[in-house]
Amino acid sequence: MATTESPTGLDTHGIDASGEVHRNPTTSLLYAHALERGEARLAEGGALAIDTGVHTGRSPKDKFIVREPGSEERIWWSDVNAEIAEDRFEGLRAKVTDYLSGRDLYVIDAFAGADPVHRIAVRVVTDRPYHALFAKTMFIEPSEEELGTFDPRALVLHAPAVEADPDEDGTRSGTFVVLHPTRQEVLIGGSFYAGEIKKSIFTLMNDRLPLEGVFPMHCSANVGPDGDVAIFFGLSGTGKTTLSADPERSLIGDDEHGWGDSGVFNIEGGCYAKVIRLSAEAEPDIFRTTHTYGTILENVVLDEDGVLDLDDAAKTENTRAAYKLEQIPNALPEKRAGHPRSVVMLTADAFGILPPIARLTRDQAMFYFVSGFTAKLAGTEIGVQEPQPTFSACFGAPFLPQPPAVYARMLGKKLDEHGAAVWLVNTGWTGGPYGEGERMPIKATRALLSAALSGELVGVEYRTDPIFGFDVPAAVPGVSGGLLTPRSTWADPEAYDRNARELASMFTDNFAKFGADDNLVQAGPRV
């Protein structure tokens, strides 16, 4: 086996790498190999531009968890977590290792989790330099000393060119993302979309961390000058990355965190931002990364000279940029801080019903956390002709190996212990639904968040929403008073009432399937 630096124990994973093995290679080497192999193009500013082919996003229906004795009793078996038999896993593993054997390989050894007590050593093995660069970017790089004694506890075997045979392998299609919880192994094939690597490890951490008493969260996080930590739960498109990248606060991370006994810590070492129609004026720090060496751009349109067009969604609405956290000027080097003083739940309400901000009680926080509401927009998916409600438990159902109640109880416990204020923030529509109203002004959202995080909203007057039951500020400096009362922004207030009752019923119908305690049911809308 020829090696640039032979990774300890590589052969013990069943891979006979007779080609060259690059262990934790430099960014420049990965750039060179990706360009030489025609996997990538060089964009203006030095970013590496990639097309991921047919798959321009995750394939949630092709994700499986191995049903095996060590974990089967705690797994949330559902459409979210489809089961696959252990013998089928072994068959797929053999296909992947056979494919990787004899090829030039890229091995990334890194950590998931910035808290040394709760981090896990991850090894990613792939034959694609671009995907190796993605793993190097998104996970936390070990020091030279740590790399010398690195002992991987989780393994990702990544072979996107390998396709499954559904009849033989028990999959739905040729694509597969398979997690074996006890062995902490992941197999990925049939998709070149790099996000599968990061989210498979997040899924693993969502299973592992609760066993250690740590609350895993699909959220961004930042910290103010006086140490006040804020976390932002939210699904894709709600502003999780944008709103946490606040120049007045230090960024802990934009997507995946744990909340343990010592506070909040980032699970990752990088950011994976959605960049469709990214604005240099509204999001200058994130925009700058799209023109920077070391950034990976997925499915972004560029011309023959490498000039980017971030407004072009010809390939997908889900254009992405992956970059190191340190590329954001105010990123917190430690990637961890204390316990949150504020918990923000972001929703992009395309129905134009919810207020731009509302204060939640502890039980209301549990209700809206388990609900995980946002909305799909017309035109974003085939067959979607009007806004459709999306309820994703705990703002991240695709990444929850255990039942939502497990994570909801952990949130409730943390709120009881640390007394954080909880806010529901609508970054969606006002003045009517999508197509009639307008998007919530980002300046107003930022002003409301600034007031909430600074404590300015503690003593102001509130009104109780008659349908949803939460408290809404009557006035906030710098924000139009009418914006705080959604009904007044509609041309037809009675139409607002009808739509509000309909949305409230959607919430209660969705929540009923969880069989929650009556106090949490009562914390929901009044229908």
pLDDT in tens, the chain (527 residues): 334 444 444 454 678 767 789 999 999 999 999 999 999 999 999 999 999 999 999 999 999 999 999 999 999 999 999 999 999 999 999 999 999 998 999 999 999 999 999 999 999 999 999 999 999 999 999 999 999 999 999 999 999 999 999 999 999 999 999 999 999 999 999 999 999 999 999 999 999 999 999 999 999 999 999 999 999 999 888 889 889 988 899 999 999 999 999 999 999 999 999 999 998 988 899 999 999 999 999 999 999 999 999 999 999 988 999 999 999 999 999 999 999 999 999 999 999 999 999 999 999 999 999 999 998 754 344 444 456 789 999 999 999 999 999 999 999 999 999 999 999 999 999 999 988 999 999 889 999 999 999 999 998 999 999 999 999 999 998 888 889 999 999 999 999 999 999 999 999 999 998 887 777 888 889 87
**What is residue 400's predicted lDDT score, i.e. its pLDDT?**
97
Cβ contacts of residue 221 below 8 Å, gap of 6+? Answer: 229, 230, 231, 232, 244, 251, 252, 253, 257, 264, 266, 337, 340
Catalytic residue check, 371: no
**What is residue 299's predicted lDDT score, i.e. its pLDDT?**
96
Question: Which residue is listed with tokens 């951490």?
Answer: 205
- State the catalytic residue, choosing from 3, 8, 101, 236: 236
Confirm whether 10-39+62-211 and 339-522 share one CATH topology: no
- State the catalytic residue, choosing from 23, 33, 55, 58: 58
Catalytic residue check, 320: yes
- State the catalytic residue, choosing from 119, 218, 336, 339: 218
- State the catalytic residue, choosing from 55, 320, 336, 339: 320
Catalytic residue check, 58: yes
**What is residue 511's predicted lDDT score, i.e. its pLDDT?**
92
Catalytic residue check, 191: no
Contact between residue 434 and residue 414 where contact means Cβ atoms under 8 Å apart: no
- State the catalytic residue, choosing from 95, 199, 208, 324: 199
Asked whether the CA dihedral 236, 242, 245, 246 is positive or negative, the reply is negative
Phi, psi of 292 (to 5 degrees): -130, 140
Tell me the C-alpha to C-alpha distance, in Å, between residue 522 and each of 373, 394, 470.
18, 18, 12
**What ranges do the domains of the chain cover?**
10-39+62-211, 339-522
- State the catalytic residue, choosing from 255, 285, 363, 465: 255
**What is residue 387's predicted lDDT score, i.e. its pLDDT?**
64
As given in the structure block, the two tokens for residue 123 are 């090894």
d(CA 500, CA 157): 47
- State the catalytic residue, choosing from 71, 241, 342, 347: 241
Asked whether the CA dihedral 79, 274, 28, 268 is positive or negative, the reply is negative
pTM for the whole structure: 0.93
Class of the domain covering 339-522 = alpha beta
Assigned CATH for 10-39+62-211: 3.40.449.10
Cβ contacts of residue 51 below 8 Å, gap of 6+? Answer: 298, 299, 315
